[in-house]
Chains A and B, each alone.
Chain A
Amino acid sequence: MKSLAELQAIKERMQNKVALREGSGDMRVVVGMATCGIAAGARPVLSAFVEEVAAADLTSKVTVSQTGCIGICQFEPVVEVYEADKEKVTYVKMTPEKAKRVVEEHIKGGKVVTEYTLANENA
């Protein structure tokens, strides 16, 4: 069983890293988690982003957070990627598989996955 002692160990490992987290915010991944998003499958999409960002060792640079209804419910699950000095990218009809690709190609590689974007959907 995962014990509180293990949690204590996590705390000790993390304390040094907390200072680093403060200076983060280079990139923000925001998942729409209102009723519309949740019903459309946003929960596993969020989990996928959290796990993939950690697996890519990018937690100090990239924050994954949740927001309410973005207003385009027919395109849920919707994910927005914000990066300093760049235009916001809106990904639509997301799945955990698509999330994995976005982390690999966009978050890590810097190249927007155009085929999943709202702009592409509307084209």
Chain B
Amino acid sequence: MIRFVAKRLALMPLLLWGIVTIAFLLSHAVADNPLASIVGERNLGNPDIVRAATERWGLDKSLPEQYFLYIANLLQGDMGTSFRTKAPVGSDLADRLPATLELAAMALVFAIVIGTLLGVLAARMRGRIVDSVVRVLALLGSSLPVFWVGLIFLFIFYASLGVAAGPGRLSARVIPPPDATGFYTVDALLAGDWPLFVDAFGHLLMPALIMSLALLGTVIRIVRSQMLEEQGSDYARTARAKGMTRGQVLNRHVLRNAITPVITIVGVSVGLLIMGAVLIETIFSWNGIGTYAVESSRALDFPAITGVCLVGGCIFLVANLVTDIAYAVVDPRVRLS
């Protein structure tokens, strides 16, 4: 176990270095140069201004030089300065990360709760209409383009019916809670501000629900098949034989074992969640890493693009590692190698 973790941790820098290098090369391979965001399109024809800006932003150096400079700075924790926002990429990302994590965490919770419910339901009603309906729902979840659902939901529930909160993390005239975790819901609770919590939660609800759709199918499938498998297992039969009702067996033994594999969802779904974040945040004006990624790649903002990829890769790797470990801890049958 410890050897496994050590091996994975040792491999991580290599993978991150690979990610940084690919991101760096890709962003710098762009045929166009990013000066327009620095000097404005009007001045691109003015050689003096272009020279001044190129020097100031270090774009006059050769690609290998820029690369080694970037890596050297990165090792000191400096991810460079964004061409677009003119702020350090590190602080830009730190400002936006909590928004995305809050959304993703909520989506994960929704996916697991709703998915487990439906999965259990389907397993209990195996072979009946309900089972089929749940299966169709599961497939539907991964068949819906999130950006389209986001639009339609906003149109129906916010603009037409007015029952859901609109885009953004808080209502217009609401002041964000004092910054502790960056999660508005948590910070609001820490500040003891109930209405603020309700507001933040309300804004979280619709985007998180839509984001969870993509994961729902997977959770349902796992829970359902695990339930069926466990139900037929020896211990379940023994428990039944000892006089427990079927419901008791299900609730006390089977369910617990059946939802264990759901933990793995956390790791596997990180990629999906990041993809969802990019699209959902765009639609819901959610100022997180996703919108930052979109805006940065539009502006050819090299340091920001590389930074986003690095952070995305980190999250992915850490989540996978944590999942594997957690899984091994929960289910002793798993041997990590």
A and B associate in one complex? no
Chain B residues engaging chain A, CB cutoff 8 angstroms? none
Chain A residues engaging chain B, CB cutoff 8 angstroms? none
